[in-house]
Structure 1
Amino acid sequence: MSKLLPLADPVESVACCSPLVSRPMTADEAEAAAPLLKALADPVRLRLVSLIASHADGEACVCDLNDAFDLSQPTISHHLKTLHEAGLLDRSKEGVWVYYRIRPAAFDAIGALLATSGTATSGSRS
Structure 2
Amino acid sequence: MNEIDASLICKALSDAHRLKIVKMLTGGELCACKLLEAFQITQPTLSHHMKVLVECNLVTTRKQWKNTYYSLNCETLTAFRTFIDSLNCSQACQKKDCCQEDE
Q: TM-score, normalised by structure 2?
A: 0.81
Q: Cα–Cα, structure 1 residues 118 and 51, in superposed 2: closer, same or farther, change >3 Å?
A: closer
Gaps of 5+ in 1: 1-13, 15-28
Task: Say which is worse superposed, 32-41 or 79-88, in terms of deviation.
Answer: 32-41
Match of residue 15 from structure 2 = 42
Residue 76 of structure 1 is matched in structure 2 by 46
What's the counterpart of residue 111 of structure 1? Answer: 81
For residue 26 of structure 2, give the secondary structure of its aligned residue in structure 1: helix
Give the whole-Å Cα distance in 2 for the aligned partners of 1:85 and 1:114. Answer: 20
Aligned length: 96
Q: 2:37 aligns with which of 62, 67, 70?
A: 67
Segments of structure 2 that go 5 or more residues without pairing to the other structure are none
Shift of 1:37: 1.3
1 or 2 for the larger relative contact order (CA 8 Å, sep ≥6)?
A: 1
2:99 match: 124
Quick one: which amino acid aligns to residue 58 of structure 2? L
In the aligned structure 2, how far is the partner of 1:107 from the partner of 1:63? Answer: 23
Q: Call closer, same or farther: CA 1:93–1:51 in 2, change over 3 Å.
A: same
- Superposition RMSD in Å: 2.3
Conserved in 1, the CA contact under 8 Å of 2:5 and 2:56?
no
Q: Which residue of 2 aligns with 1:89?
A: 59
Q: Which residue of 2 aligns with 1:23?
A: none
Q: What amino acid is aligned across from residue 70 of structure 1 in structure 2? A: Q
Closer/same/farther in 2, CA of residues 85 and 68 from structure 1, 3 Å limit: same
Percent identity of equivalent pairs? 30
From the CA coordinates, give the structure whose radius of gyration is larger.
Answer: 2
